A = this chain, B = another copy of it.
Amino acid sequence: MTERYTLHEDPRSGNCYKIKLTAALLDIPLETLQYDIMQGETRTPEFLANINRNGRIPVLQIEGDDGVRFLPESNAACWYLASGSELIPSDRFAQADMLRWMFFEQYNHEPNIATLRFWLSIIGEANLTEQQRGQIMAKRVAGCEALRLMDEHLGRSEWMAGDRATLADIALFPYTHVAEEGGFGLEDYPQVCRWIEQVRKLPGFVAMA
């Protein structure tokens, strides 16, 4: 069965980049449709009705023999594309451990590191609400803690899960390698810096827009 994939994305989003990186590493053709989240383009009635009721990108559109389906959530879309490939370990523990780091990414890493990048480099500090401003310090502390955990782990292990590159690396790479746009100093995390260069050398690697 041949499927055709279209990514509904905002090119500035690291969550969207994860899916493009997965497709590139696996040499899977992927078309893209751009939205500007700053202009509310993912909150229009059409987007909510047809693409994702959650009003968020990325969404992976999958066209196959049985019609068109939509898959939101970046890490689930990566899982779908990488299903059956070497990016998902077949060993039972390594597979669950890979998912462990992907859930860590969405719970401990993204809401702090990606959000500060979004607030400081995309919205701009001057345009933040009082409530957002009040959360900067807590997100800074939690983001540093997430980077510290990664750094410790990468001091004991070449890759995030198992003994080769997996979706755990792909999920964590996008917002980590641009963490400085959120004010995080990567020089404090030497193992993370080593790992970033290692990911960049993967065959088929593509850079973020």
Interface size class of A (residues with CB under 8 A): 35 or more
* Contact yes or no, B99 A149, CB < 8 A: no
Complex contacts, A75 vs chain B, CB 8 Å: 99, 103
Which residues of chain B have C-beta atoms less than 8 A from A77's C-beta? Answer: 96
Find A134's partner among B71, B92, B131, B152 (CB 8 Å cutoff).
B131
Docked pose: A117 CA to B153 CA in angstroms:
32
Copies in the complex: 2
Q: Please encode chain A, from 96 to 122, with 1 for each CB lying within 8 Å of some chain B CB and 0 for all others.
A: 110110111011101100000000000
Given contacts A96-B79, A96-B80, contact A138 B149 (CB under 8 A): no
**Taking A73-B99, A99-B75 as contacts, is the C-beta distance between A53 and B152 under 8 angstroms?**
yes
**Is the Cβ of B111 less than 8 Å from the Cβ of A99?**
no
* Max chain B C-beta neighbours (<10 A), residue from A62, A73, A97: A73
Our pick among B76, B93, B95, B108 for the contact of A100 (Cβ within 8 Å) is B76
Contacts A103-B106, A138-B131 known; A149 to B54 CB distance under 8 Å?
yes
Instruction: Kindly state whether residue A85 has any CB partner on chain B within 8 Å.
Output: no
Check: A157 CB closer than 8 A to any chain B CB.
no
Q: List 10 A-B contacts (CB under 8 A).
A: A54-B104, A71-B97, A73-B99, A73-B104, A76-B103, A80-B92, A103-B106, A107-B110, A131-B135, A131-B138
